[in-house]
Amino acid sequence: MNSRLAWHPLESSAGEAVRARECLFMLTTEQKASPKTKRVVILGAGFAGLAAAKALGSSSFDVTVIDRHNYHLFQPLLYQVATAGLSPADIASPIRSILSGHKNTHVILADVSAINVDEGTVIAEDRHVAYDVLIVATGAQHAYFGHDDWAAHAPGLKRVDDATYLRRRILVAFERAEAEPDVDRQRRLLNFVVVGGGPTGVEMAGAIAELARKALAADFRKIDPRDARVILVQGLPKILPAFPPALSDRAREDLERLGVEVRLNQTVTQCDVDGVALGTERIAAATVVWAAGVMASPAGSWLGVETDGVGRVKVNPDLSVPGHPEIFVIGDTSHCASASGAPLPGVAPVAKQQGEYLARLLKARFLGKNYAPFRYRDFGMMATIGRKSAVAQLWGVHFGGLLAWLLWSAAHVYYLIGFRNRLAVMMNWMWNYFTFERGTRLITGLSGSQVHDMGRPPPM
């Protein structure tokens, strides 16, 4: 969740209120737990917030989850929605349904506009929600490195709306190319640029290439979708920089076999309606996808605490905010140091483990017990390139190919919430695998002339 929260200092006796809440919250082993039910408010129902809410279900806490959306989204598969492999309903589940079995948990659908740290309240539209414990799990947003105007021409992939918009844009590009008599404009329509060589960029580039070369290959009469040019731009010497060099090289080779042009050590210097510039080279493209970086939600400014270079709140080993033991920041919004001192990556396993850990911590402290600092259990990393192709680093073992792809598929199905979603994704993947078809190639929200006007550049 990326709630639009803002920091608004409100008048109160700040020092006394904070000290009183610290005394209430920091129970020691010699103290007895208060019989009063503690109010836990969780901002965000992403991986971190939802994991905390589920683990606190049926506990002695009164839990309130606030999110601007009514669904939990499985973000790792958003790129498959954007490339017509899955529908949004396959990777999203209603928050209320997920938490319906926890009678101590309440859900509020709202944008949060302020946090009053001194009074211990969150303002969510017309509600003032009081908390004894606040868990901030508001995620991350796209980072354009000082070029926010590029967002209009190079959308990222964080929300369902982003994915359906990109699906529409990609499919419309082929439709417009079919009807375009001008060769130069047709070429621009069939150029797709993906900026960023991390897992999202690699998976997106591979999926667009497969869509063009397999699923759409026989659908058009005037154009050959296999002529589409997919370009992956990476500012570093290798793609998938968090992976070992051998796996990064293998992923690049697999992408190139799919027909993707991989540009290393190159950065975008300009992005507009006509395409992108890589230094002095100009690439005309109707579709640009931004996967080059993220920044945390502005939680640090809301709370008035120290953040790192990308806006993540620097937290204590128990994930609490320095000076505020009743406030915790987890997930992509949190700068939590690993054993080596480097911040933990912003990936789903970290967020889920932090949410589950925090629930155990709160239960222990409520009983007046101490609890060990958070420690991340790293089982490894995986990224898929395309059909039957993936790379994996699991338990210290590096491998790729079909086995890695099968493990990647099994892991993603396993972590989906709900039997219906798991079944739907498995059936879609089996259909795609054996037929090369993509059953969700729907252009929604546009019709007729709107399709042909979408993203049209100025007259040449």
Contact 326, 119 (CB under 8 A): no
| Residues 185 and 268 reside in one and the same domain | yes
Longest dimension (CA), the chain: 81
The residue-averaged pLDDT of 440-445 equals 72
| Residues 166 and 236 reside in one and the same domain | yes
Instruction: Round to whole Å and give the CA distance between 380 and 396.
Output: 7
The residue-averaged pLDDT of 131-136 equals 96
**Within-domain flag for 358:** yes
| Residues 262 and 310 reside in one and the same domain | no
Position 397 pLDDT exceeds 90: yes
Q: Dump pLDDT digits (tens) for 356-369.
A: 999 999 999 999 99
**Within-domain flag for 315:** yes
**Within-domain flag for 371:** no
Domain boundary among 338, 366, 394: 366
| Residues 172 and 275 reside in one and the same domain | yes
Q: Which two tokens stand for residue 26?
A: 């920091």
**Within-domain flag for 101:** no
pLDDT category at 419 given cuts 50, 70, 90 is: low
221-235, 285-299, 363-377, 443-457, range with the lowest pLDDT:
443-457
Q: Structural domain of residue 207, as residue ranges? A: 148-292+381-453
Which residues are part of the catalytic machinery?
A: 203
Domain boundary among 322, 342, 366: 366
Position 450 pLDDT exceeds 90: no
* DSSP codes of every residue in 299-343: HHHHHT--B-TTSPEE--TTSEETTEEEEEE-GGGEE-B-TTSSB
Domain boundary among 326, 342, 366: 366
Assign 40 to helix, strand or coil.
Answer: strand
Percent of the chain surpassing pLDDT 90:
67
Q: What is the pTM of this model?
A: 0.85
The residue-averaged pLDDT of 44-67 equals 95
Position 395 scores a pLDDT of 85
| Residues 243 and 169 reside in one and the same domain | yes
Give the CATH number of the domain where residue 400 resides: 3.50.50.100
Give the number of domains in the chain. 2
| Residues 311 and 357 reside in one and the same domain | yes
The residue-averaged pLDDT of 280-303 equals 92
* DSSP codes of every residue in 161-223: HHHHHHHHHHHHHHHHHHH---HHHHHHHTEEEEE--SHHHHHHHHHHHHIIIIISTTT-SSS
Q: Which two tokens stand for residue 250?
A: 């293998």
Give the CATH number of the domain where residue 39 resides: 3.50.50.60
- Quickly tell me which residue has 């500012």 as its tokens: 235
The DSSP secondary-structure symbol of 133 reads E
Position 34 scores a pLDDT of 45
Rg (CA), the chain: 23
**Within-domain flag for 95:** no
**Within-domain flag for 231:** yes
Query: Which residue, 132, 64, 138, is CA-closest to 334?
Result: 138
Contact 319, 333 (CB under 8 A): no
* DSSP codes of every residue in 1-30: ------B----S-HHHHHHHHHHHH---TT
The residue-averaged pLDDT of 52-73 equals 95
Q: Dump pLDDT digits (tens) for 296-318.
A: 988 888 898 999 989 999 999 99
| Residues 431 and 353 reside in one and the same domain | no
Instruction: Round to whole Å and give the CA distance between 412 and 433.
Output: 16
| Residues 308 and 271 reside in one and the same domain | no
**Within-domain flag for 311:** yes
- Residue 363 main-chain phi, psi, to 5 deg: -65, -40
Position 211 scores a pLDDT of 94
Between the alpha carbon of residue 203 and those of residues 83, 252, 311, 343, 382, the distances in Å are 10, 11, 26, 24, 11
Percent of the chain surpassing pLDDT 70:
86
| Residues 269 and 311 reside in one and the same domain | no
**Within-domain flag for 362:** yes
Position 401 scores a pLDDT of 93
Position 428 pLDDT exceeds 80: no
pLDDT category at 439 given cuts 50, 70, 90 is: low
| Residues 262 and 398 reside in one and the same domain | yes
Position 422 scores a pLDDT of 81
Position 343 pLDDT exceeds 70: yes
83-87, 396-400, 413-417, range with the lowest pLDDT:
413-417
Position 437 scores a pLDDT of 65
The residue-averaged pLDDT of 221-228 equals 95
Contact 65, 53 (CB under 8 A): yes
Q: Dump pLDDT digits (tens) for 7-24.
A: 333 334 444 444 444 444
| Residues 211 and 278 reside in one and the same domain | yes
Position 351 scores a pLDDT of 96
| Residues 284 and 155 reside in one and the same domain | yes
